[in-house]
Amino acid sequence: MSTHASNFKVGLFVILGLALGVGAIAWLGASQYLKGAEKYVTFFNESVQGLQNDSTVRYRGVEVGRVKAIRVAADTRLIEVLMEIQFQGDLSKELVAQLSTAGITGITFIELDRRKPGEKDLSPKIDFVAEYPIIPSRPSELQRIVSTLDSVMQQVQTINFKMMGERLDKALQGVEKLFTDQRLQVTMERIADASVKVDELVGRVNRVLNQKSLDGLVGDSRKVLAEAKAAVASAKVVVDQLAEDVKQMDLGNTGKRAGRLFEGLEQRSYQLALEAQLTMQNLRESSESLKELLHNIKRNPSSLIFATPQPTSPRQEGRQQ
């Protein structure tokens, strides 16, 4: 009996020692894992289907905590999610929570991210006191898409498609009436006639600005200048000859010859001056006529297109008289 009793005590002692060792290891591991972890709560105004207890809480893809409880909030409107997070800093002011889905697996988790400067606060309003610090939340990407589509559909519903159809039908009828109107065809014919007259006008202007006519006027002016130059040279020769005669001949005969020479020179110079003046006047009048034609074209082109006679200028009336 004593042998069996001692074996029982030894076995019991070993079992108790193993149990204490396993408990100590479990306690040390749990304390190490939960070291620095704090509880936070966030509220969602949407479905949290797929989110479960012990779902991961990630900060930009890195696991920083776990979901501890999911329940309906005190106002029976929002969904309260209790989290245990191991992260440094004031999470309630620096971070924002959002429901996310991991690829095609459909596993839902809570994604934490930092607030962007100037970002609009989309977290639901809380009108009750929470047990733990609150991390603000924002709608998930799927919820945002659904909200946007809903807003678009509401705006589409406000559009009066019937009125738009009636206006479009009236506009098409107006276009059809315009293209079938006889006045449009007449207008197109007038435009075609005007194009022909414009071509004729361009031909007339080209004839007026013919290079040969201008060359003729320039040639006449050059001829007059050459004759004037020759007259000046002749006068110089006469003066030189007169000076020589004064030296060799008597003063009386020299005076008579000089008088006759000066009279001939005066007549010749007067004739050349008249010719030069007439040529320059013709050149000036031609230039003014050209300027007047171009001015009339610029000021009143319709009169030239439709061949309407222009009133006679005072200069032309004086020339005709």
What is the enclosing helix (H) or strand (E) of 303? helix 301-305
Q: What is the pLDDT of residue 184?
A: 67
Q: What is the pLDDT of residue 82?
A: 92
Share of the chain above pLDDT 90, in %: 4
Q: What is the pLDDT of residue 21?
A: 79
* Radius of gyration, alpha carbons of the chain: 57
Rounded mean pLDDT of the chain?
A: 72
Spatial CB neighbours of 122, under 8 Å, sequence gap ≥ 6? 137, 138, 139
Find the helix packing angle between 251-299 and 182-208, rounded to 10°.
160
pLDDT band of residue 12 (cuts 50, 70, 90) is confident
Q: Is the pLDDT confidence value at 44 over 50?
A: yes
pLDDT band of residue 124 (cuts 50, 70, 90) is confident
Q: What is the pLDDT of residue 212?
A: 46
Distance in angstroms (rounded) separating the CA atoms of residues 182 and 178: 9
If DSSP codes are grouped into helix, strand and coil, which group holds residue 192?
Answer: helix
Q: What is the pLDDT of residue 42?
A: 92
Q: What is the pLDDT of residue 317?
A: 44
Q: Is the pLDDT confidence value at 139 over 80?
A: yes
What is the enclosing helix (H) or strand (E) of 114? strand 107-114
**Residue, of 27 and 235, whose pLDDT is higher:** 27
Q: Is the pLDDT confidence value at 43 over 90?
A: yes
> Which amino acid does the sequence have at 275?
E
> Which amino acid does the sequence have at 235?
A
Residue carrying structure tokens 């304390």: 31
Q: Is the pLDDT confidence value at 136 over 50?
A: yes
Q: What is the pLDDT of residue 259?
A: 58
pLDDT digits 0-9 by tens, 45-103: 888 888 888 888 999 888 888 999 999 988 888 999 999 988 887 777 888 998 888 76
Distance in angstroms (rounded) separating the CA atoms of residues 140 and 122: 11
**Residue, of 8 and 153, whose pLDDT is higher:** 153
pLDDT digits 0-9 by tens, 305-319: 554 444 544 444 444
The domain segmentation of the chain, as residue ranges, is 35-149, 209-320
If DSSP codes are grouped into helix, strand and coil, which group holds residue 230?
Answer: helix
Distance in angstroms (rounded) separating the CA atoms of residues 310 and 321: 19
Burial of 42 (0-12, 13-18, 19+ CB in 10 A): buried
What is the pLDDT averaged over residues 200-222?
A: 58
